[in-house]
Amino acid sequence: MHPIIAIILNRLVLGIVTLFMVSLIIFISIQMLPGDFAEAILARAATEETVAALRKELGLDRHPVLLYFDWITALMSGDLGNSYTGRGVIGADESRAVFDLVAPRLKNTLFLASFAAIIAVPLSLFLGITTALYRNSAYDRIMNMSTLTTISFPEFFIAYILILFLTSLFPIFPSLANVDADTEFFERLYWSALPALTLTLVILAHMMRMTRAAIINLLASPYIQMARLSGATPRELILKHALPNAWAPIVTVITLNLANLVVGVVVVEVVFVYPGIGQLMVDAVASRDIPVVQSCALIFAMTYILLNLLADIIGIVTNPRLLHPK
């Protein structure tokens, strides 16, 4: 078997094991949440008899180990279970399938993440290359100060700053991202502009600085020195000599930041009331909807693990030194 294929298969197996461990952590964490889920669902109608009956109907009276294996077994068959919403009346099955709740929200989240990525990735590459090209210039210092400032701010703070300037002081974009399945594409772009801009600023700084660092690190290589002695201009040194060899670390950093982008949308979606999977998970936690919380958390974990695996595989394939450590 080719060494690359063997390493990729090894990473895939490790990813599956990691996902299994994460599912166990998610289940245990939800089981350890304070309060009774049946009482939260019944609210004012909660009595000892109704709570006991609802717990039996939902299967919450069973041992947690059995509940976990039932959940995992259902997941392997593609069944995310049913939401607890609408189960306030004993014997009434008004709940919806979790898949029907998650699918449109996941689509919205992926749209928002893709919107931000399409802006952030090319812009970070441009800024990283130009700051490396004009290193130690006023432009380089200004960009470094700006990115350091952006990195130091949490997502919700950046979101509120954008709302202040682009909604309150200068009413350009709406502060709430009211989109639904019937929203047209360009209208969806308009309503999602502020959340996408917030996510762009969050990941742009990291990708730009890592791109700059990768190129500057390669500029100290002997072959770059030889190219410089042969009369190559600074632009040629970066674009023709340094950049082709910097693609591996740059692509890895971009992939890892895209993973952080997809997982980090929760705070942004809550701030802008964007109907994504992050907002759905927060609402499900508030209403103690266990199947929805478990499914949303597992989707975030799966996305993060898959993108990390992709970054790992790209780093292996594009760097032959990792195949032969000796």
Query: Structural domains in the chain?
Result: 3-76 (no CATH), 104-322 (1.10.3720.10)
pLDDT at residue 88 is higher than 60: no
Cα gap 157→198, rounded to integer Å: 9
At 52, the amino acid letter reads A
Lowest mean pLDDT among 34-48, 80-94, 215-229, 305-319: 80-94
Q: 10 Å Cβ neighbour count for 223?
A: 11
pLDDT digits 0-9 by tens, 231-247: 888 778 777 877 777 77
Higher local confidence (pLDDT), 98 or 240: 98
Specify burial of residue 98 (Cβ count, 10 A radius: 0-12, 13-18, 19+): buried
Q: Which residues pair with 82 in a beta bridge?
A: 97
Task: Look up the pTM and report it.
Answer: 0.83
pLDDT band for position 222 (50/70/90)?
confident
pLDDT band for position 262 (50/70/90)?
confident
Cα gap 228→53, rounded to integer Å: 79
Cα gap 31→213, rounded to integer Å: 44
Contact 301, 22 (CB under 8 A): yes
pLDDT at residue 55 is higher than 80: no
Region 90-107 average pLDDT: 75
Q: Tokens at residue 165, please?
A: 């300037």
Q: Tokens at residue 29, please?
A: 């964490």
pLDDT band for position 325 (50/70/90)?
low
* DSSP-assigned letter for residue 326: -
Q: Tokens at residue 156, please?
A: 């919700």
Long-range contacts of the stretch 91-94 (C-beta < 8 A, 24+): 91/57
Cα gap 134→137, rounded to integer Å: 6
Higher local confidence (pLDDT), 109 or 47: 109
pLDDT band for position 196 (50/70/90)?
very high
Q: How many CA atoms lie within 13 A of 124 on its CB side?
A: 29
